[in-house]
A = this chain, B = another copy of it.
Amino acid sequence: MYKKFIVEFIGTFFLVFTVGMTVLHQPDGVIPPLAIGAILMTMIFAGGHISGGHFNPAVTLAVFVRGKIPGIEAVGYVISQILAGAVAAGVVLSLKGGPATGAAPAQLVPVLVAEFLFTFALAWVVLNVATAKGTSGNSFYGLAIGFTVLAGAFAVGSISGAAFNPAVVTGATLLGLLNPATIWIYFVANFAGGGAAAIVFRIVNDEAAD
């Protein structure tokens, strides 16, 4: 089981590291979503066959609700992911020379809506491309998942910063990109989005009771 935790650590580390390196001290634009979507895709393609390639506590929650990961293992996943997010933030800080300052508090309703919607989309895609019978054996799961984050980063990046992932929220907070006082909004929205996607998945997929 610890092998899966290593893989989750590696994938989440590179995800949050890429987030930090492309977002910190740099204006918004086309680069961060491309880079983040790409690294998530490649880490999923690399690690998916070992750990499932979650790299995201909200995804792990969704897979747990869907019934494809035991609770105890899910806890280990989340610990690995949060730890990797924190370590990645540390390495980014050492390379970039310090955190951002002055992150404004998040606005409750817009951030809640934006983060809920795209975490829902992300978990919806994960469950359908990586755990459904109808798509088993496909070669697109990493592409589909990574590019959901790419699309979401373009769509709501200006509203919420486009985390969709409590491990990314953890790293981004350490990097000074999110205001600590309001990150609870992200955690609520991300886990609610992941859980809701799992419920809808079970409604529309006949095999959901596997």
Contacts and interface: CB of A to CB of B under 8 A. Distances in A.
Contact of A151 (B18, B134, B144): B18
A113 B142 contact: no
A139 B139 contact: yes
Given A31-B30, A200-B10, A156 B38 contact: no
A205 B154 CA distance: 36
A17 B125 contact: no
Contacts of A125: 42-43, 45-46
A172 interface: no
Interface string A1-23: 00100110010001001100110
B39 A151 contact: yes
A62 interface: no
A40 B21 CA distance: 23
Contacts of A108: none
A140 B142 CA distance: 9
A117 interface: yes
Nearest to A160: B95
A155 B113 contact: no
A34 B30 contact: yes
B117 A17 contact: yes
Contacts of A14: 117, 121, 151
Interface of A: 3, 6-7, 10, 14, 17-18, 21-22, 30-39, 41-43, 45-50, 91, 94-95, 110, 113-114, 117, 121, 124-125, 128-129, 132, 134-135, 138-145, 147-148, 150-152, 154-156, 159, 200, 203-205
27 contacts: A6-B204, A10-B200, A17-B155, A21-B159, A22-B155, A30-B34, A33-B35, A35-B151, A35-B154, A38-B154, A39-B151, A39-B155, A42-B145, A42-B147, A42-B148, A42-B151, A43-B125, A46-B124, A46-B144, A47-B128, A49-B134, A50-B128, A50-B205, A91-B113, A95-B156, A139-B140, A140-B143
